[in-house]
Chains A and B, each alone.
Chain A
Amino acid sequence: MSNDFAQFQDAFFEEAAEHLAVVEEGLLQLEQHPEDLDLLNKIFRSAHSIKGASGMFGFNAVAQFTHKMETLLDLLRNGQTAVTSKNADLLLKSTDCLKTLIDAAKSGTPVDNETVKRLTVELAAASDMNVKAESKVEKGASTSLSVPSPLTPHPLRCFHIDWAPPEWLFQRGLDPLQVIKELGDLGTLSQVAVDASRLPDITEMDPERCYLSWSMRLETGKDQQVVEAVFEFVREDSVLTIEERETLGVKRETQDEKAMASGASREPVAAPHPSPLTSDGSDSEPKPLGEILVESGVVSREVLDGALAQQKRVGEILIEQHAASPQQVEQALHKQRQQEAASQSKKTDTASIRVDTAKIDKLINLVGELVITQSMLSDLGTRFEMNQIHVLLERMAQLERNTREIQERVMSIRMLPIGTAFSRFPRLVRDLSARAGKKIQLVLSGEETELDKTVIESIGDPLTHLVRNSADHGLETPEVRLDDNKPEVGTIRLNAFHEGGNICITVEDDGRGLDREKILAKAVTQGLIAENEKLTDDQIWSMIFKPGFSTADKITDISGRGVGMDVVKRNIENLGGTISIKTEKGKGTRFTLKLPLTLAIIEGMTVRVGRETYIVPLLSILESLQPRPESVKTVIGKGELINVRNTYLPIVRLYEVFSLEPEHTDPTKGILLILETEGECVAVMVDEILGQQQVVIKSMEQNFRKVEGIAGATILGDGTVGFILDVRGLFEIACREASLVA
């Protein structure tokens, strides 16, 4: 059959992620509002949807685990069990576990089976307060629609069927004819007789009621269960007898028939679950030996689990046989994990994006306009005369407007509200405050601020680190805060807002602030600075971004192992952003991340050196100037410097770096651009500033290779390639040259 649900898997994973977020967020809110039934219903529905859909794809581990969660949630929403922090905690942990299970289904990442097992037991125990409800749901899960399967043809049998449907049959949209037809499909139907004795007098008759009953004889190769299944939707309400009269051909008596014959039960024996797709049909993978043994009753599940636990891994066996050293095995395992991680990240890269159809409609309209403008232009081109130049300019302006609008619209497709990146923090802060014994409230604002999906995805980890830092290092314990006349509850604020073509995200706490002296002392002991070196505040704060730098007296499990802040900075810079610190002792610290709205396009300043054109990211330009001769100095050990308002900055002559033939070699004749990178400045000498424009970044690494001092390339208006300067790289070149001169 051409129907195949597998193609909907990606959609499922996307939906599941959304449901997980709803469940998690809902559970966190539930702690504050345990009586909120709407909230509970919402959580329940999300869990329910995950369960339903995961079963469709054969993700049984997910379905089973979600079922356990759902059972507890159902008890909570029916008020049979109270919403306690213990229950909420258990459900939150289970949500995490469910996440790993779904990831496992998605990309085959390993699952911590111990945790799954433990949480399953805990969930069952929590739900066990009302045993009846539990067993009811269990029963529900096990009796399911039987799928009559065309197995080997049975010998023909003969059934006599008497059926008196309920009077309201029609009101449920049921048609007795359908049932009789379906019976006919099973075999040969004969002696069909209708019993109209229940028909009332015509004056009392309700045409919407069913007063008829039927009796018939069915010869079929199917067994009784299949025949009963025909009456599935009406059986419980009908007076129905299905009796096997005589067997044609070989007499065969199954257990069901015996039960049926003795009238012990009309319930069909629960058929196995309709097989989900992945394990459906003949081309399914064979089951593991253990499963088959359990199913056939040779061994019990416990015995099998015990045996599996004794099973050794390949690595262990090889070590025992001295075929490989533990280190070699460890290395190989490490490699395997890396490969797994790599394949996993590859998989997440192909993620889809859900776009509002309205956005696409607008885009199509715009493309239509673009086509019109284009045809107007080509029309003009075929019969152009110089006196029509104003028409041409007008059309060009229209083209530019179209292009810009399309660009904006296309970008907006990739734009998502940053709230999706913020949503993980309520949970994080809750866990952190519990673990660190601090009272912390989290205030989020600007969640609706939109930015590029890739930026949102990459910003999560750095933000998490900053929030952890604030919770662990920034905020004090309640006792200390009370002593300092501060409110007992510390506050962490996350805010996002647009500023120019950038987005700013601030992470702010009202904690103790950075300790200038402590950072200085640590920097000296780590040899980062000389003992009596004079540093500005900003330079001191930027010390915490140096690799391996931590002033925490003790290492906690939250943060303080000295890894992280340097990674945070690097991540932000990889995104083309900057990070800055503002702090006041005793008052708090604020980290400000400034990020481009998108990674694909930057605002650039075009500059000329000789006959080459370069692009400088506008974000990094502080100012441009033409120096007076007396402000340019050559200092031994520092190279060439320029004095800008009493600060000396190194000069990088761009024509030297790229070996070009310049127009000017004298800094006082050319132009110096003061560029900022990571809080440090460098003066870059060029011949001329040409203008400002948006440029589309093309990767150098993908098309050529990494070139020092160059961040990427772009196509300029005249069709030539222009290089985009890498300010950080230029600064490093300047530092290196200075040390060479020394």
Chain B
Amino acid sequence: MSKTALVVDDSPTMRQMVAFTLTNAGFTVVEAEHGKDAVRKVSDGGKMDIVVTDLNMPEMDGITLIKELRKLAAFKFTPILMLTTESAMEKKQAGKAAGATGWIVKPFNPEVLLKTIAKVMPA
């Protein structure tokens, strides 16, 4: 069975690029436009092998999404990577406090994305 990934970004371009990279790498990708959309899409109790989320989003931002996901049994230990342009400490700290596993700094290229995912995702 192929690995599943949840990709959350309000920018369709970014979302597509991440989804494209992951699909090419053999993932089954679920896309969501923002936190609320993402929470709705995993509300059926399904598991994901990895979550990649943007931070600045309408409706529900990435930090809140991470907190919400960590409350779900299925996402308690799922690796969650945040996409961020500011590697400024407080964003990272807020993300880590919320339960983010790691981060990817934009701009990134496909190799970095996949490498970072491999870093946090059990094979």
**A49-B16 Cα distance, complex, nearest whole Å:** 13
9-residue interface stretch from A7-15, A151-159, A638-646: A7-15
| A45 touching B103, Cβ below 8 Å | no
- Contact status of A171 and B70, CB under 8 A, knowing A137-B88, A274-B109: yes
Interface membership of A48, Cβ < 8 A:
yes
| B16 touching A140, Cβ below 8 Å | no
Pick from B70, B88, B108, B120: contact of A233, CB below 8 A.
B120
Q: Of all chain B residues, which has the CB nearest A270? A: B87
Interface majority SS (helix, strand, loop, mixed), chain A? helix
A-B contact pairs, 10 of them (CB 8 A): A8-B16, A8-B17, A11-B12, A49-B10, A52-B83, A172-B101, A173-B99, A173-B101, A174-B79, A233-B119
| A172 touching B96, Cβ below 8 Å | yes
- Contact status of A171 and B99, CB under 8 A, knowing A8-B17, A52-B85, A276-B109: yes
Interface membership of A422, Cβ < 8 A:
no
- Contact status of A52 and B112, CB under 8 A, knowing A42-B58, A145-B105, A175-B122: no
Q: Of all chain A residues, which has the CB nearest B70? A: A171
Pick from A15, A48, A277, A280: contact of B13, CB below 8 A.
A15
**A63-B107 Cα distance, complex, nearest whole Å:** 10
Task: Find chain B residues with CB under 8 A from A49 CB.
Answer: 10-11, 14, 56
**A174-B78 Cα distance, complex, nearest whole Å:** 8
**A277-B109 Cα distance, complex, nearest whole Å:** 7
Q: Of all chain B residues, which has the CB nearest A139? A: B88
- B residues sitting closer than 8 Å to A (CB atoms) are 10-14, 16-17, 20-21, 24-25, 54, 56-58, 70, 76-80, 83, 85-89, 91, 96, 99-112, 114, 116, 119-122
Q: Of all chain A residues, which has the CB nearest B110? A: A3
Interface membership of A634, Cβ < 8 A:
no
- Kindly provide the distance from the CB of B106 to the nearest chain A CB, expressed in whole angstroms: 5
| B85 touching A55, Cβ below 8 Å | yes
Q: Digitize A45-82: 1 where CB-to-B-CB distance is under 8 Å, 0 elsewhere.
A: 10011011101111000010000000000000000000
Q: Of all chain A residues, which has the CB nearest B23? A: A3
| B102 touching A233, Cβ below 8 Å | yes
Task: Find chain B residues with CB under 8 A from A173 CB.
Answer: 77-80, 99, 101, 120
Interface membership of A458, Cβ < 8 A:
no
Task: Find chain A residues with CB under 8 A from B79 CB.
Answer: 173-174
**A44-B79 Cα distance, complex, nearest whole Å:** 28
New A-B contacts (11) at CB < 8 Å, excluding given A56-B106, A174-B101, A208-B76? A11-B12, A49-B14, A56-B14, A56-B107, A63-B107, A170-B77, A171-B70, A173-B79, A178-B121, A232-B119, A274-B109
**A12-B17 Cα distance, complex, nearest whole Å:** 10
**A137-B12 Cα distance, complex, nearest whole Å:** 25
**A145-B113 Cα distance, complex, nearest whole Å:** 11
- Kindly provide the distance from the CB of B80 to the nearest chain A CB, expressed in whole angstroms: 6
Task: Find chain B residues with CB under 8 A from A536 CB.
Answer: none
Pick from B89, B112, B120, B122: contact of A145, CB below 8 A.
B112
Interface membership of A376, Cβ < 8 A:
no
- Kindly provide the distance from the CB of A149 to the nearest chain B CB, expressed in whole angstroms: 10
Interface membership of A526, Cβ < 8 A:
no
Task: Find chain A residues with CB under 8 A from B54 CB.
Answer: 52
| B87 touching A145, Cβ below 8 Å | yes
| B109 touching A275, Cβ below 8 Å | yes
- Kindly provide the distance from the CB of A71 to the nearest chain B CB, expressed in whole angstroms: 10
Interface membership of A291, Cβ < 8 A:
no
- Contact status of A140 and B86, CB under 8 A, knowing A3-B21, A45-B56: yes
Interface membership of A141, Cβ < 8 A:
yes
Interface membership of A1, Cβ < 8 A:
yes
Interface membership of A2, Cβ < 8 A:
yes
Task: Find chain B residues with CB under 8 A from A137 CB.
Answer: 86, 88
Count chain B CB atoms within 10 A of each CB in A11, A139, A172, A280 and give the residue with the most: A172
**A274-B96 Cα distance, complex, nearest whole Å:** 23
**A208-B76 Cα distance, complex, nearest whole Å:** 10
Task: Find chain B residues with CB under 8 A from A232 CB.
Answer: 102, 119
Q: Of all chain B residues, which has the CB nearest A233? A: B102
Number of chain A residues close to chain B: CB under 8 A:
52
- Contact status of A53 and B11, CB under 8 A, knowing A172-B96, A237-B96: yes
**A277-B108 Cα distance, complex, nearest whole Å:** 8
| B107 touching A52, Cβ below 8 Å | yes
| B11 touching A52, Cβ below 8 Å | yes
| A178 touching B120, Cβ below 8 Å | yes
Count chain B CB atoms within 10 A of each CB in A8, A49, A147 and give the residue with the most: A49
Interface membership of A136, Cβ < 8 A:
yes
| B85 touching A274, Cβ below 8 Å | no
Task: Find chain A residues with CB under 8 A from B14 CB.
Answer: 49, 52-53, 56
**A208-B89 Cα distance, complex, nearest whole Å:** 26
| B12 touching A45, Cβ below 8 Å | no
| A44 touching B107, Cβ below 8 Å | no
- Kindly provide the distance from the CB of B119 to the nearest chain A CB, expressed in whole angstroms: 6
| B120 touching A140, Cβ below 8 Å | no
| A56 touching B101, Cβ below 8 Å | no
Task: Find chain B residues with CB under 8 A from A12 CB.
Answer: 13
Task: Find chain A residues with CB under 8 A from B10 CB.
Answer: 45, 49
Interface membership of A5, Cβ < 8 A:
yes
Q: Of all chain B residues, which has the CB nearest A5? A: B17
| B111 touching A143, Cβ below 8 Å | no
Pick from B11, B99, B107: contact of A15, CB below 8 A.
B11
Pick from B86, B96, B107: contact of A276, CB below 8 A.
B107
Interface membership of A431, Cβ < 8 A:
no
Task: Find chain A residues with CB under 8 A from B12 CB.
Answer: 11, 15
**A275-B107 Cα distance, complex, nearest whole Å:** 8
| B105 touching A144, Cβ below 8 Å | yes
**A280-B109 Cα distance, complex, nearest whole Å:** 9
Interface membership of A182, Cβ < 8 A:
yes
| B58 touching A45, Cβ below 8 Å | yes
Q: Of all chain A residues, which has the CB nearest B121? A: A178
Count chain B CB atoms within 10 A of each CB in A2, A5, A44, A177 and give the residue with the most: A5
- Contact status of A145 and B104, CB under 8 A, knowing A15-B11, A277-B109: yes
| A51 touching B85, Cβ below 8 Å | yes
Q: Of all chain A residues, which has the CB nearest B102? A: A233
Q: Of all chain B residues, which has the CB nearest A280? A: B109
| B107 touching A274, Cβ below 8 Å | yes
From residue 248 to 276 of chain A, which have CB atoms closer than 8 A to chain B? 273-276
Task: Find chain A residues with CB under 8 A from B121 CB.
Answer: 178
Task: Find chain A residues with CB under 8 A from B108 CB.
Answer: 56, 145, 274
| A144 touching B101, Cβ below 8 Å | no
| B16 touching A11, Cβ below 8 Å | yes
| B21 touching A147, Cβ below 8 Å | no
Task: Find chain A residues with CB under 8 A from B112 CB.
Answer: 145, 147, 274
Task: Find chain A residues with CB under 8 A from B91 CB.
Answer: 140
- Contact status of A233 and B103, CB under 8 A, knowing A42-B58, A173-B78, A182-B119: yes
Q: Of all chain A residues, which has the CB nearest B89? A: A140
Task: Find chain B residues with CB under 8 A from A147 CB.
Answer: 112
Task: Find chain B residues with CB under 8 A from A5 CB.
Answer: 17, 20, 109-110
Task: Find chain B residues with CB under 8 A from A177 CB.
Answer: 122
Task: Find chain B residues with CB under 8 A from A15 CB.
Answer: 11-13
Task: Find chain A residues with CB under 8 A from B85 CB.
Answer: 48, 51-52, 55, 141
